[in-house]
Amino acid sequence: MTNPARLQNRTAFLENIAKVLDRPRRTQAPVRPALKYRCHQEVMAGWSPDQLRDRLVDYTENALGAKAIVTTKAQLSRVLSEACLAYQQNTLSDDGKDVVLSADVRLQAGIDINQLTQAGLSLYVWDSSLGYDANIRACERAKVGVVFAEQALAESGTMVLYSQVEQGRVISLLPEASVFIVPKSAIVPRLTQATAVLTEKAKAGKRMPSCINFISGPSSTADIELIKVVGVHGPIFATYIILDDQ
């Protein structure tokens, strides 16, 4: 049973809502009406993986001001090194030289750490067991954070990240540049397919990951004269690496 100290003032609050709705308090799940239309399911329905990939690349490059690179598993280490090195040279300040890599097994299995080191990159691999301070410090000083995405959304150029032990929230947040790696098979039309996965998880009684992020390009603002400025509190640069392995 729930701890009353962690749940305060609920009964009176909900009774009052029932009262203004002029009916007894509703404690049984109401019938949730099915969505009236299917237009959200019809966006890019029936598109091939290549079509979705092309749309993702097009939107990312033209609307988000981010880079999209299509490559193969065999070329991943080289492409990733080049992407990280480009940011080493282009970023704004000169303190911090590391690249923080997610410890996600899908990422670690796909890259050759030696090849990255030989390319001249100093690496830090996320390690939850070292605790908050060590990991935050590494990310704060790093130029680039590299993460593995669960899904990509073609419509909006979006990378879907779940927080997990191997891949903390701040890898894609504190460094000036983010690099996302996503397999072509994980590209879906839009948010509809991403939320469907989460609804399935919920139905199966699983807890949601504590932080799910839908990230579309670098951070941005239009708060001064509605002029778009890329790079505010989150990353200033972003590259998507799409693994074309189908």
Which 184-213 positions form the footprint of another protein (CB under 8 A)?
190-192, 194-196, 198-199, 202, 207-213
Comparing CB distances to another protein, the nearer of 117 and 221 is: 221
Which residues from 218-237 bind another protein, rule CB under 8 A?
Answer: 218-227, 229, 231-235
Only segment of 46-54, 104-112, 148-156, 179-187 that touches another protein (CB under 8 A) = 148-156
Closest approach of Cβ 146 to another protein, in Å? 16
Which H or E run includes 123?
Answer: strand 122-125
Token pair listed for 172: 């894609």
Q: How far apart are CA 113 and CA 64, in angstroms?
A: 30
Comparing CB distances to another protein, the nearer of 64 and 242 is: 64
Interacting residue with another protein among 77, 88, 151, 164 (CB under 8 A): 164
| Number of residues lying near another protein (CB under 8 A) | 88
Contact 126, 132 (CB under 8 A): no
Interacting residue with another protein among 77, 135, 151, 239 (CB under 8 A): 135
- 43 makes contact with another protein (CB under 8 A): yes
Residues with Cβ within 8 Å of 170's Cβ and at least 6 positions away in sequence, in order, are 135, 136, 139, 145
Strand 98-101 with 144-148, pairing? parallel
- 95 makes contact with another protein (CB under 8 A): no
Closest approach of Cβ 116 to another protein, in Å? 23
Interacting residue with another protein among 50, 58, 82, 140 (CB under 8 A): 140
- 91 makes contact with another protein (CB under 8 A): no
Token pair listed for 126: 């996320």
- 65 makes contact with another protein (CB under 8 A): no
Q: How far apart are CA 35 and CA 46, in angstroms?
A: 21
- Paired with 177 in beta bridges are 144, 237
- Paired with 148 in beta bridges are 181
Q: How far apart are CA 43 and CA 226, in angstroms?
A: 29
- 26 makes contact with another protein (CB under 8 A): yes
Token pair listed for 65: 């001001």
Q: What is the DSSP letter of 89?
A: H
- 28 makes contact with another protein (CB under 8 A): yes
Only segment of 39-47, 71-79, 80-88, 100-108 that touches another protein (CB under 8 A) = 39-47
Residue type at 101 in one-letter notation: L
Closest approach of Cβ 106 to another protein, in Å? 18
- 73 makes contact with another protein (CB under 8 A): no
Token pair listed for 145: 């954070």
